[in-house]
Chains A and B, each alone.
Chain A
Amino acid sequence: MLTEFLYLMKAELMITIIIFILLFLKLGSKEMKAENMLNFINVLLVINLAAGFFNIPTGNLFGDMFRTNELFTLEKNFLNFGTLIISLQSYDWLKNHKHVPEFYILLLSTLLGMFFMISSSNLLMFYLGLELSTIPLAALCNFDLHQRRSSEAAFKMIMSSAFSSGLLLFGISLLYGSTGTLDFHELTLQLNDNSLQIFSLILLIAGFGFKISAVPFHLWTADVYEGSPVAVTSYLSVVSKGAILFVIVSVFYNVFTPVANSWYNMIFLISVATMIIGNLFALRQQNMKRFLAFSSIAQVGFILVGLTAQSTEGSSSVIYFILIYIFSNLGAFGVISVVSAITGKETMDDYRGFYKTNPLLTWVLAISLFSLAGIPPLAGFFGKFFLLFAGAGKGNYSLIVIAALNMVVSLYYYLKVIKAMFMDANENPIEKIHSHWQPKIAMGICVGGILITGIASGAYNYIHSLLK
């Protein structure tokens, strides 16, 4: 029993152990230097990531509350990977911060919550994981301790996530009322499209909508993204969103197959609204973090197109896209994070003439943005192509036309940043930036991933084979 427990919960236990190590470090009498601490933590995270690829467990625990298999482990590895990249990128910011261990304890707690959420096989377990992954996030948003808007962001975050959790709980309780079970397998058998169940489905989707900031539940996103430290913003927009999408695609997708039709209609409407509104707002943003916030809302709209597909291609394209999204969005956030940590500049105007002073960083940002815009030969092209491809398999071409035209709109605002960096003149551009080698490595990994993941078809084919 004990060995089985240790084996099946390997990923979760690794994170827990790291959290404990950090706790004891904090308790120790001697203060460690921030640099050493960061190096040590990053080594731990690398080990944690590497361990995820060996001895992949399959099985159930706690009377089917918790389950794991190759697909879930892959998803957890993606999240581990994203966390590691963010940790490397925030080196320049954290080395001047007094509370490094606390930051990581909170960060890893949310990660632990996401793991439980992905592995859940019961609505109760799912809710537990969800709460564990949201509450520490609100504290993280407040981590720019001397910034007023950081506290504001934290407050907005906690209010909106409490509200969305409320919706989710209401939905779950109605679902329990109408089916008499919380277990996913039995739930599938009990679902029959009656109006109470549809209502609870609406509530559940609204709850998810808050977490992935889909329109019309997106209003908190921009303010929270702008106010939070860049590291937290990138974590929110990539890892936290990715986790919820993983859960939707690999868990709820299967649970709600009996009500697939209602599911399709709702996701369809949300997807169209999210793409259009996200794009329209992104057009007008000046602050780079807000800009990426709205662009990430639009990206969620594209991901939802893949979710309408209800096929193996749809699910695998969503998971594949999240991998690419980790590379592309973190590449972009990496540059913004380094620039913001060293110069404090965050608006699009500051980036004018960036190419003259920082050609390499400019290319990193440009490649990431092109990948987000879906330009070949970068990975983003493949990701978007497969999402829309899967959506088209359903036969509703109006959605595909809307999505394809939205890609053109989104190209416009990505090109605006490119234009500012490459073409505009600026009297005092951002000076030459010398960052630590760790953020550089992180950016290198992101660019490498963007360049390779699409052309080499291995990643997609592997995900597809897991879902079959």
Chain B
Amino acid sequence: MNLSLLIILPLLTALAILPLKASKQVRVVSLVGASMQFILVFILLYFYWNERSSGNTSVMLFENNYPWYAPLHINYHVGVDGISVAMILLTAFVVLAGVLVSWNVEKLSKEFFFLLLLLSLGAYGFFISLDLFTLFFFLEVAVIPKFLLIGIWGSGRKEYSAMKLALMLMTGSALVFVGLLGLYFNTNDGNGQHTFDILQIAQMNIPVSIQKIFFPFAFVGFGIFGALFPFHTWVPDGHSSAPTAASMFLAGISMKLGGYGCLRVATFLMPEAAHQYSWIIIVLASIAILYGAFATMMQTDLKYINAYSSVSHCGFVLLGIGMLTKTAITGAVMQMVSHGLMTALFFASIGMIYDRTHTRQVAQLGGLLKIMPFISTVFVIAGLCSLGLPGFSGFVAEVTVFMGSWQHADNFYRIATIIACASIVVTAVYILRAVGKAIMGPLPLTAEGSPPHLWRGGEVDARWNEKWAAALLIVGIVMIGVAPFWLNDLVTPGTETMMKNIGKVVMLK
């Protein structure tokens, strides 16, 4: 299986829509492209299982390695392990759902889908990269389309949010950049040559003093993408101003770029420093979890509710990484997948509600279940998944993180775990309150005593494309929730490789 197909396919789709005129053609071509991505990713999954079950235990599968900038030892090196496959799977789900949800975008639809596909290209490329230069390249590819998506198609204070997001993410990538250069110039492959190759660097012993300098750059840089407290402020503004599909993308995939980078680059390549700094990561993650949850309680706008709850949920990812145990890291990866699907579903349903009611204020909504039962059900499912109801993916992922964190016998780690657990209660409060007010209860009536005009008219409930998008994401969530073992089995070999690097430090202690 040639992994470069994952980059070529979105690129070809994006190029194919450029000459098209009618927005209907654009939509159809994008949908076909996204569906092909979806199928391709399942083929990848199939091949991956085959290889693994036939006893192939190499760290990365389907590797391709070509020299790119040979004088600088920069290679185009791709390959996947279980963690990357899980993230690629998530991307395929969210991209397809995002294209479906955006079916009715009329304003500049060609540009819209072009940028959406460019984003998916960046995400795939990032997850399959095994060379730090390639990885950084794809990380930045995914920034500017977000700026344009939010700024052109967004709502509310869109220009402000778009600018804030672009500048904060670029600051993040500037820090990552310094971290990567620092790593590069301190590698030595035995012949005095430096390398950007992740697998090679993992085999080398970077001096601890060097790691201590460059780990913060890489971790904080990726952390900005992954909503690390206190650099999370782009999240609420960016998510709430973005158009539906872009919100799904931002929360579903883009924030995962950060988490994946923290894991694959910062922690995996600089394990000693990760150990030294792990207490800081845990403190910050715990603050993010609790602060995010409480901040959500104060929000009145549905998108802000989900955006702040994303800060809280992404805190679990960083907490899992900071704990540095096998179970916790597996949990962190599962939380990334779970949160990606769940939050995409949440944003999709909020987008559908907003399309029909033209408001996202909880106080102005009510009784939606009566007039749009499908959308309301989707909203409730997303909410329940978010608060960690067993049977949905959120529960599985969070429990895994907690179990992993509890493995530390130290009081410090256990207190952090308890704090994180406590946030679930707060989550239940804000989710149930939003559901109770917006979905249940009476319909708010206008002065004439009839339901607001905008809410009626032809079809109020979900259209076919929205139903498909929601169904797709719900299938993903339930599949993880009911049968978590397949995701666990997929991710575990990847985390075991990581633990070899991280574990050798623990042994030394």
A residues within 8 Å of B by Cβ? Answer: 312-313, 316, 370, 375-377, 381, 385-386, 388-389, 392-393, 395, 397, 400-401, 404-405, 407-408, 411-412, 415, 418-419, 422-423, 457, 460-461, 464-465
Rounded to whole angstroms, the CA-CA distance of A393 and B70 in the bound complex is 16
Q: Are B69 and A457 in contact (CB under 8 A)?
A: yes
Q: Are A400 and B178 in contact (CB under 8 A)?
A: yes
Q: Are B152 and A412 in contact (CB under 8 A)?
A: no
Q: Are A411 and B166 in contact (CB under 8 A)?
A: yes
Contacts of A411 in B (CB 8 A): 166-167, 170
A404, A412, A415: which contacts B175 (Cβ < 8 A)? Answer: A404
Q: Are B178 and A423 in contact (CB under 8 A)?
A: no
Tell me how far the C-beta of A403 lies from the nearest C-beta in chain B, rounded to whole angstroms.
9
B251 at the interface (CB under 8 A from A): no
- Pairs across A and B, CB under 8 Å, 21 listed: A313-B71, A316-B71, A375-B143, A377-B137, A385-B177, A388-B181, A389-B72, A392-B182, A400-B178, A401-B178, A404-B177, A408-B167, A411-B170, A419-B159, A422-B151, A422-B152, A423-B152, A423-B159, A457-B68, A460-B69, A460-B71
Q: Are A375 and B140 in contact (CB under 8 A)?
A: yes
Select from chain A the residue with minimum beta-carbon distance to B70.
A461
Cβ contacts B123-139/A at 8 Å (1 or 0 each): 00000000001000110
Q: Are B171 and A419 in contact (CB under 8 A)?
A: no
B residues within 8 Å of A by Cβ? Answer: 68-72, 133, 137-138, 140-141, 143-144, 147-148, 151-152, 158-159, 162-163, 166-167, 170-171, 174-175, 177-178, 181-182, 184-185, 213
Q: Are B174 and A407 in contact (CB under 8 A)?
A: yes
Rounded to whole angstroms, the CA-CA distance of A316 and B177 in the bound complex is 20
Q: Are B181 and A392 in contact (CB under 8 A)?
A: yes
Q: Are B174 and A392 in contact (CB under 8 A)?
A: no
Rounded to whole angstroms, the CA-CA distance of A393 and B192 in the bound complex is 13
Tell me how far the C-beta of B160 lies from the nearest C-beta in chain A, rounded to whole angstroms.
10
Rounded to whole angstroms, the CA-CA distance of A340 and B143 in the bound complex is 31
Q: Are B181 and A400 in contact (CB under 8 A)?
A: yes
Contacts of B138 in A (CB 8 A): 376
A389-B181, A392-B184 are known contacts; what are 17 more A-B pairs with Cβ within 8 Å?
A: A313-B72, A316-B71, A376-B137, A376-B141, A377-B141, A381-B137, A385-B133, A386-B72, A388-B177, A400-B178, A404-B175, A412-B163, A419-B159, A419-B162, A423-B151, A423-B159, A457-B69
Tell me how far the C-beta of A427 lies from the nearest C-beta in chain B, rounded to whole angstroms.
18
Rounded to whole angstroms, the CA-CA distance of A405 and B175 in the bound complex is 8
If the complex has contacts A397-B182, A400-B181, are A375 and B71 also in contact, measured as CB distance less than 8 A? no
Contacts of B170 in A (CB 8 A): 407-408, 411
Q: Are A376 and B174 in contact (CB under 8 A)?
A: no
Tell me how far the C-beta of A428 lies from the nearest C-beta in chain B, rounded to whole angstroms.
21
Rounded to whole angstroms, the CA-CA distance of A215 and B203 in the bound complex is 44
Rounded to whole angstroms, the CA-CA distance of A376 and B145 in the bound complex is 11
Contacts of B70 in A (CB 8 A): 457, 461
Q: Are B141 and A405 in contact (CB under 8 A)?
A: no
Select from chain B the residue with minimum beta-carbon distance to A410.
B170
B71, B141, B159, B178: which contacts A404 (Cβ < 8 A)? Answer: B178
Contacts of B147 in A (CB 8 A): 415, 418
B137, B151, B166, B185: which contacts A392 (Cβ < 8 A)? Answer: B185
Contacts of B144 in A (CB 8 A): 370, 375
Contacts of B184 in A (CB 8 A): 389, 392
Select from chain B the residue with minimum beta-carbon distance to A460.
B69
Rounded to whole angstroms, the CA-CA distance of A111 and B137 in the bound complex is 36
Rounded to whole angstroms, the CA-CA distance of A395 and B210 in the bound complex is 12
Rounded to whole angstroms, the CA-CA distance of A377 and B162 in the bound complex is 20
Rounded to whole angstroms, the CA-CA distance of A404 and B170 in the bound complex is 9
Contacts of B68 in A (CB 8 A): 457
Which of B141, B170, B175 is the most central at the interface, judged by chain A CB atoms within 10 Å of its CB? B170
Contacts of B213 in A (CB 8 A): 397
Contacts of A388 in B (CB 8 A): 177, 181
Select from chain B the residue with minimum beta-carbon distance to A468.
B71
5 shortest A-B CB distances, which residue pairs? A404-B174, A392-B181, A464-B71, A423-B151, A408-B170
Contacts of B162 in A (CB 8 A): 419, 423
Rounded to whole angstroms, the CA-CA distance of A154 and B70 in the bound complex is 46
Contacts of A313 in B (CB 8 A): 71-72
Q: Are B163 and A415 in contact (CB under 8 A)?
A: yes
Q: Are B174 and A395 in contact (CB under 8 A)?
A: no
B69, B140, B158, B166: which contacts A415 (Cβ < 8 A)? Answer: B166
If the complex has contacts A415-B166, A423-B158, are A395 and B185 also in contact, measured as CB distance less than 8 A? yes
Contacts of B151 in A (CB 8 A): 419, 422-423
Which of A386, A389, A393, A401 is the most central at the interface, judged by chain B CB atoms within 10 Å of its CB? A389
Contacts of A381 in B (CB 8 A): 137, 140
Tell me how far the C-beta of B363 lies from the nearest C-beta in chain A, rounded to whole angstroms.
30
Contacts of A419 in B (CB 8 A): 151, 159, 162-163
Tell me how far the C-beta of B206 lies from the nearest C-beta in chain A, rounded to whole angstroms.
15
Which of A313, A412, A457 is the most central at the interface, judged by chain B CB atoms within 10 Å of its CB? A457
